[in-house]
Every structure is written in C-alpha cells, then in structure tokens.
A and B are shown apart, each in its own frame.
Chain A
Amino acid sequence: MEPQLSSDLLRGHTDTIVLGALLDKDRYGFEIYNRILERTRERYELKEATLYSAYKRLEKDGLVMSYWGDETQGARRKYYRITEKGREQYRQNKRDWEFTQKILNHLLEEEAL
C-alpha cells in the first residue's frame, strides 16, 4: 500500500509551518495556504480554519503581526509578518522537531527489529 501522509502529525506543527512560510517574506492567507498545498503536493487535507486559528494564536503571542495590504482593486488582503520573537520560536521548534524525529526514528527502528 502507498504510504499515507499523517495529517494529524502535520496539524500538530501548524504554527511552525506558518512561521516557516513567513521567513522569507510577508504573505497573506491564501498564499500561505497555497504554499502548503504545493509543498505537500496537495496530499495534506489542511482546513483553512486551522490556519486562521494559528494566525490568531501567533498574533496574540507576538510571534507574527498583521497588516492590511494596499490593494486598489478586488478584495483586501491581510498580510502576516514574522517578528523577531517568531523567528526565535521557529528555530526552537525546528530544533525540537529534529530532536524528536531522531528519537522517534530510533524508537521505530527498535520496533522493527
């Protein structure tokens, strides 16, 4: 059987994924959503509501800030920008994940034996 993507596992890292999407430039909701779809080749059935919750949380914790774009036509876009605190949090989360991954791999290898 084809390997399946564990959506639950990914959902646990929504905040880090969003922070990661903002590292190189400010993005708005659709861009972030689209970026995740592309990078997962649409295998991850991400609900947008999950992302909105993440934005609210991150903004409240001061990890991102938001501002309205100056589109002259069409719908307005709300952009998110990562803060210094957010970058620090991203690095920390990434280190945590790499560490966890190593341990998980180790655990699973043992199971296989």
Chain B
Amino acid sequence: MNIREHVDALFADYKDTASMREFKEELAGNLTDRIAALRQKGMDENAATGKALAELGDVSAIAGELGMKKRQEVFSDMYMGTRKYLTPGRAALFILGGAIVCLGLLFAAVTWFATELQVAAVASGMLFVAAGAGFLTFMGLTQETATNNPMPRKRAALYSVSVAVFLTGVFSAPLVYFGTTGASPAELASGGWALAPENLGYTAAVTVLVPFVLPAAALFIYLALTEKDRAKPWVAALREKAARQEHERFANVKEAERFGLFSGALWIAAISLFVLLIITVGFKFSWLALAAALAGQMLMLAAFSKDGE
C-alpha cells in the first residue's frame, strides 16, 4: 500500500468533497516527507509508515469539520441525491416493475385494437398492471433515500399486496360492468338477476368491488395508521425548526389562539357559502367562496404575524 492508499483508507467513511481531497493531498505530502525522514534514521519502510501514521492521531475530528462545512455548501447535492442509495441491482428491479406495468398497458392496447372489446382489453392488461404496481410499491417503500430510511420488507410487502388487490378490484369493476351490460336478457334471467337490466351493470360492478377493494383499503388504512416516522435525523431536525418558526410567528399564545379561532370561523363560513352557491348558482361560481376564504386566510396571517424587530 502506498501513502495515498493509506490516506484514502483513513477517510473511507467520509464524503469525498473538494476540501476533503485537498486535505488528503496535504496529508499525503507531509506523511511522505515524515516517512522519508524516519527511514533516513534507519527505520525500514513498514516501521516508518506505521510510526508516521501513529503520529497522526485522531484525524476524525478534522474530517468531521471538513465534511460538515462542505455538507452545508452542497446541501442539495448531499441530501437530495439518490445516486448514493440506488444500487444497480435495485435500479434494475425498479425498471423491471415499470416494464411489467408497461407490458400490461401494451397488452391491453393490443387486445383493444385487435378485438375492440373493452372487457378483453381490461382483462388482458389488469393483472400485469396490478402486479407491477404492487411490486413498484414494495421497491419504493424499501428504498432508502436521502430523506427516509427504508421500510422493513415484511411491512412493505403488506402495502404492496394491498395496492395490488385494490387495483385488481378497481379493474374488475369495469370488467363486470361491460360484461353484464353486454349480456342478453335471457342470459341475465338464467343468472337469476332480478334487477332492472339498465341498472344491472352498475350494481354488479359495485358488488365486485367489495371483496377486493374493502379489505385492501382496510389493510392500507391499518398500515397507514400504525406507520412510524422513517425520516432521517436531519429531516426531523429541519421539521422541528420549521415548527419552532411557526410557533414564533405569533407574539404570544393568546394571539395564536385568536388566529386559530378566526381561521376556523372563516372556513366554516366559506364552506357553507360554497355549498349554498352550488345549490343556487351551480359550480361555475361556487369556487369563488373558497378562493375568497384563501385570500382572507392570508390577510389574517399577515395581520396576526408578529411585527419584525
């Protein structure tokens, strides 16, 4: 191992920044001279290298200083970059998931153009799309990013199942809808349907949603409610800072409370007006109530904010 490799090994755990590279170069230069000096005194190369490295002491403190300084300078690059976390293997799996979804869409399109049957098109594509989406969900959740730690695989697998089942249900509905609306009255009678034929499509479609969509949604909601925060420490710190600033926005607790009450009153009034306008003049103008409330909210925030010192 030459000196350069020794130095690189010392700082293997640190982010390679410009100032770090410069420091390593300085260090390598000095170590080279120190080793040469020790060898002149009769030490062999290994002993001289060992002694020179031992004399260095704890360089991690300086490395931390250098790293930290750089980290703030290239904040976006450091924190927002995903390159560091996405291994080639995982990237390939992501692409595979996307390919499965695309394959499903392609099958559906081909079937549609060939047969012009919605049922056939949906049926040929749906399983691929559902499976692909479930797989992508799993990959996305187990992916470590700059801001989040990865979710445990078992939990991510449950999410992915719930997504896949949900989608299967959602795709089955149009399948059943088109399937039953195309059916002849005789077929319907043999199936024991006792409903008005014109409503049958909808009824069947909604009924088929239940065994898929309900359990899937329930599982998803359960998982979401029991979810824990997987944000990285720096994100948590940033969030805390934002909360503190939010808190300091108002001069005191009483002001904050009044702001909250006023806001609540404003939105209750706005939503009531919104509903009233839908009934009286329709959707064309009803949204104005919400826009006005939003403007009012901003003005209120401006009025309540603490005067800058």
Measured CA separation A53–B289 after assembly (Å)? 62
Q: Are B30 and A48 in touch, CB under 8 angstroms?
A: yes
Q: A49-B61, A53-B61 are in contact. Are A30 and B34 (CB under 8 A)?
A: yes
Tell me whether A97 is interfacial, beta carbon within 8 Å.
no
Q: Are B37 and A34 in touch, CB under 8 angstroms?
A: yes
Measured CA separation A47–B37 after assembly (Å)? 17
Tell me whether A74 is interfacial, beta carbon within 8 Å.
yes
Q: Are B56 and A47 in touch, CB under 8 angstroms?
A: yes
Measured CA separation A34–B35 after assembly (Å)? 12
Interface size class of A (residues with CB under 8 A): 10 to 19
Q: Are A56 and B62 in touch, CB under 8 angstroms?
A: yes
Measured CA separation A52–B27 after assembly (Å)? 9
* Chain B interface, >50% SS class: helix
Q: Would you give the shortest CB distance from B167 to chain A, in whole angstroms? A: 56
Residues of A within 8 A of B55 (CB): 33, 46-48
Tell me whether A102 is interfacial, beta carbon within 8 Å.
no
Residues of B within 8 A of A47 (CB): 55-58
Q: Are A49 and B58 in touch, CB under 8 angstroms?
A: yes
Measured CA separation A56–B22 after assembly (Å)? 12
Measured CA separation A78–B19 after assembly (Å)? 13
Q: Are A75 and B29 in touch, CB under 8 angstroms?
A: yes
Contact with B along A19-62 (1 / 0, CB 8 A): 00000000011100110000000000011111011001000000
- Size of B's binding interface in residues, CB under 8 A: 22
Measured CA separation A49–B33 after assembly (Å)? 16
Q: Which of B28, B32, B59 contacts A49 (CB 8 A)?
A: B59
Tell me whether A77 is interfacial, beta carbon within 8 Å.
yes
* Chain A interface, >50% SS class: helix
Q: Would you give the shortest CB distance from A5 to chain B, in whole angstroms? A: 16
Q: Are A28 and B57 in touch, CB under 8 angstroms?
A: no
Residues of B within 8 A of A48 (CB): 30, 55-57
Q: Which B51-78 residues have C-beta < 8 A from chain A?
A: 55-59, 61-62, 65-66
Residues of B within 8 A of A76 (CB): 25-26, 29
Q: Would you give the shortest CB distance from A2 to chain B, in whole angstroms? A: 23
Residues of A within 8 A of B61 (CB): 49, 53
Q: Are B25 and A49 in touch, CB under 8 angstroms?
A: no
Residues of A within 8 A of B57 (CB): 47-50
Q: Which of B3, B23, B34, B65 contacts A33 (CB 8 A)?
A: B34
Measured CA separation A76–B30 after assembly (Å)? 9
Measured CA separation A29–B56 after assembly (Å)? 12
Q: Which B32-53 residues have C-beta < 8 A from chain A?
A: 32-34, 37
Residues of B within 8 A of A78 (CB): 22, 25-26, 29
Spell out A's residues near B (CB within 8 Å). Answer: 28-30, 33-34, 46-50, 52-53, 56, 74-78
Spell out B's residues near A (CB within 8 Å). Answer: 3, 22-23, 25-30, 32-34, 37, 55-59, 61-62, 65-66
- Offer 24 A-B interface pairs, CB within 8 angstroms, sorted by A: A28-B30, A29-B26, A29-B27, A29-B30, A30-B33, A33-B34, A33-B55, A34-B37, A47-B56, A48-B30, A48-B56, A49-B57, A49-B58, A49-B61, A53-B61, A53-B62, A56-B66, A74-B29, A75-B3, A75-B32, A76-B26, A77-B30, A78-B22, A78-B26
